[in-house]
């Protein structure tokens, strides 16, 4: 479980996060949504320790990450998997080497054991016969799957995804969404996803947090988001006519 | 950001670079790859330039020494001194600053803007140590060989120029290069090379690592890194020459 309390973060005179409180439970797909510039990326980068909070705490199963000793921090890092917006694969390494990299760095497994594990996670993300390919030879969706494989290869307790669907066609986006949800469920990982994709919000959002101007504006489930009267959320989520119709149809159905 | 802040940030970066590698096996593999990328792949250009510049130095010296009382062996002597003291260590290092420096900045800068460095940090890897230390050690290890080869080829280029042009006899040139040999001058050249190699690896790494923005920012950082590395090589050259030769 991740507990965020009164999180503040700014850059120079610009205050990006203005006191966010949130709790993320294991086995749940938690989504962070909000307009561009609302602070989503800064929030997720603060959670994974790339930004140091100015005020507030982030506790991972009761352990506050800013109070870690070097060894505890190292241990905590290995409990984290991160899927970056652009996949962030090492472009000079093959798919196999990318996924094997954390194992080589932090485990004492034999080459054979590492290869078994790599093949297992690549199969898990439904990527076959791509071990020897370079990232540049893969499609965007395949790169995302490699990034997910690399993120879960160390059996993380916490999985973070920054816009995992950006730049993907709707069909591939659904595949990636389902994959993240399955993995979350299967390994009981605490998953936090930043997204703009309304399909993800409605399909896999077991818990949704809406950020506006660096503050938590709304919190609920994908079911709640159909019913909410919060103007900012409705404006953001149901910005297209199609989504408005989807909402209306859902509300009519549940009446 | 002012210069003092950059200098402070550069030294803070070095303090993170020079730590114990997390996995020696991976470090060794990265080191060997850098020896190939930063050293072996620069062999061609250094050999080519050294040979021809050595030839030009010998020809210029021969053309300027037209007094019949000055022996032709002085041409070999002057060419040898110029090549060992200045051309090979300094001129070649400036060429390497351009070739290797822009490569280092653009490769690390691209890793920064595509979040690959963030990915390393999230995994718990000291990204500066992982990316920069192999480069620093590879250049410090390999450039003395490269520069020494440049010295040999420069001197050989001088001899070849004499042979082709007929301006001076090869025998006189060989007598000249054996004249008044001072081993300390070689040590001076190697000491300079080691300092320049350190600058060639670390200054472009600094520019690449702290780049902000996209591809244009990476391009700009590459240019700046070459300019600053060259400036620092020239300044270090002056300071070392004053410290070691006066």
The alpha-carbon gap from B114 to the nearest alpha carbon of chain A, in Å, equals 6
Asked whether A23 and A32 are in contact (CB, 8 A), the reply is: no
Q: Which two tokens stand for residue B222?
A: 């590459």
Q: Does the interface ipTM go beyond 0.90? A: no
User: How do residues A171-228 score in pLDDT, each as one tens digit?
Assistant: 888 888 888 888 898 889 999 999 888 888 878 888 999 999 999 999 988 888 888 8
Is there a domain that residue B88 lies in?
A: yes
- Judge whether B116 lies within some domain: yes
- Domain that includes residue B143, residue range: 23-245
B123 found inside a domain: yes
**Average pLDDT value for chain B:** 94
Check pLDDT > 70 for residue B171.
yes
Average pLDDT, chain A: 89
pLDDT of residue B75: 93
Question: Is the full-model pTM beyond 0.90?
Answer: no
Residue B120 belongs to a domain: yes
Query: Residue A8 region, left (φ>0) first, then alpha (ψ -120 to 50), else beta?
Result: beta
Angle between the B170-178 and B73-82 helix axes, to the nearest 10 degrees? 50
Question: Position of tokens 């352990």?
Answer: A63
Give the whole-angstrom CA distance, residue B113 versus residue B119.
11
Residue of B103, B121, B122, B215 to mutate, interface with A, max A Cβ within 10 Å: B122
Strands A158-162 and A29-34: unpaired
Q: Which tokens hold the place of A202?
A: 């409605």
User: B36: how many CB neighbours lie within 10 A of its CB?
Assistant: 12
For chain A, the C-alpha Rg in angstroms (whole number) is 19
Which of A243, A151, A131, A154 has its CA nearest to residue A193? A151
Name A191's bridge partners.
Answer: A29, A159
Q: Fold for A2-220, please state it.
A: Rossmann fold (3.40.50)
Would you give the end-to-end CA distance of chain B in angstroms? Answer: 37
C-alpha angle A107-A113-A119 in degrees, rounded to nearest 5: 110
For residue A86, the chain B residues in CB contact (below 8 A) are: 114-115
Indicate the number of domains in chain B: 1
Closest by CA position to B43, among listed B92, B78, B91: B92
Q: Report the residue from A48, A74, A90 with minimal CB separation from B122.
A: A48
What confidence tier does B237 reach under pLDDT thresholds 50, 70, 90? Answer: very high
Q: How far apart are CA B131 and CA A77, in angstroms?
A: 19
B236: tokens are 């270090």
**Model pLDDT, residue A201:** 80
Q: Which residues of A touch B32 (CB under 8 A)?
A: none
In a domain, B51, yes or no: yes
Buried b (16+ CB within 10 A) or exposed e, B136-154: bbbbbebbbebbbbbbebb
Over chain A (255 residues), the average pLDDT of each successive run of 10 is 93 91 91 89 92 92 88 89 92 94 92 93 88 93 91 92 85 86 89 86 86 91 83 81 75 73
Distance CA A144, CA A252 (A): 37
Is B15 a member of any domain?
Answer: no
**pLDDT tens digit string along B42-66?**
999 999 999 999 999 999 999 988 7
Question: Does some domain include residue B139?
Answer: yes
Predicted local distance difference test score (pLDDT) of residue A37: 86
> Is B105 within 8 Å of B200 (Cβ atoms)?
no
Contacts of A84 in chain B (CB under 8 A): 115, 118-119
Position B237 in a domain = yes
Task: List pLDDT tens digits, range B55-107.
Answer: 999 999 999 887 888 888 999 999 999 999 999 999 999 999 999 999 999 99
């Amino acid at each position: 479980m991740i507990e965020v309390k009164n999180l503040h973060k700014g850059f120079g005179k610009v205050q990006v996060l203005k006191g966010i409180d949130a709790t993320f439970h294991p086995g749940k797909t938690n989504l962070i949504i909000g307009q561009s510039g609302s602070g989503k990326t800064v929030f997720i980068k603060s959670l994974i320790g790339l930004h140091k909070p100015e005020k507030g705490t982030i506790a991972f199963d009761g352990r506050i990450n800013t109070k870690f000793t070097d060894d505890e921090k190292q241990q905590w890092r290995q409990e984290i998997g991160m899927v970056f917006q652009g996949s962030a694969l090492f472009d000079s390494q093959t798919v196999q080497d990318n996924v094997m990299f954390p194992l080589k760095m932090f485990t004492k497994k034999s080459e054979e054991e590492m290869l078994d594990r790599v093949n297992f996670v690549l199969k898990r993300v439904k990527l076959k016969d791509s071990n020897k390919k370079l990232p540049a030879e893969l499609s965007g969706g395949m790169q995302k799957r490699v990034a997910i494989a690399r993120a879960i290869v160390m059996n993380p307790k916490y999985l973070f995804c920054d816009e995992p669907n950006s730049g993907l066609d709707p069909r591939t986006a659904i595949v990636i969404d389902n994959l993240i949800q399955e993995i979350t469920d299967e390994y009981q990982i605490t998953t936090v996803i930043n997204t703009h994709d309304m399909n993800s919000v409605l399909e896999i959002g077991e818990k949704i947090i809406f950020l506006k101007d660096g503050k938590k504006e709304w919190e609920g489930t994908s079911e709640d988001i159909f019913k909410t009267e919060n103007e900012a959320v409705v404006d953001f989520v149901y910005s297209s006519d199609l989504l408005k119709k989807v909402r209306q149809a859902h509300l009519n159905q549940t009446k | 950001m002012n210069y003092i802040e950059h200098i402070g940030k550069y030294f803070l970066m070095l303090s993170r670079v020079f730590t114990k590698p997390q996995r020696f096996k991976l470090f060794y593999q990265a080191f060997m790859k850098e020896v190939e990328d930063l050293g072996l792949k620069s062999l061609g250009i250094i050999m080519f330039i050294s040979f021809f510049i050595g030839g030009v130095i010998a020809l210029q010296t021969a053309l300027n020494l037209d007094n019949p009382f000055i022996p032709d062996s002085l041409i070999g002597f002057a060419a040898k001194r110029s090549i060992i003291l200045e051309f090979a260590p300094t001129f070649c290092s400036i060429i390497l600053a351009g070739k290797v420096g822009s490569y280092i900045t653009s490769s690390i800068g691209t890793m920064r803007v595509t979040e690959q460095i963030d990915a390393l940090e999230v995994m718990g890897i000291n990204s500066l140590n992982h990316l920069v230390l192999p480069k620093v050690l590879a250049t410090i290890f390999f450039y003395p060989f490269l520069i020494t080869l440049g010295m040999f080829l420069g001197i050989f280029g001088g001899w070849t120029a004499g042979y082709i042009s007929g301006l001076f006899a090869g025998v006189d040139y060989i007598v000249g290069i054996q004249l008044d040999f001072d081993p300390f001058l070689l040590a001076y050249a190697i000491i300079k090379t080691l300092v320049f190699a350190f600058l060639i690896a670390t200054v472009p790494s600094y520019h690449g690592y702290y780049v902000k923005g996209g591809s244009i920012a990476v391009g700009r950082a590459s240019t700046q890194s070459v300019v600053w590395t060259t400036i620092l090589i020239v300044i270090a050259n002056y300071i070392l020459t004053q410290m070691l030769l006066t």
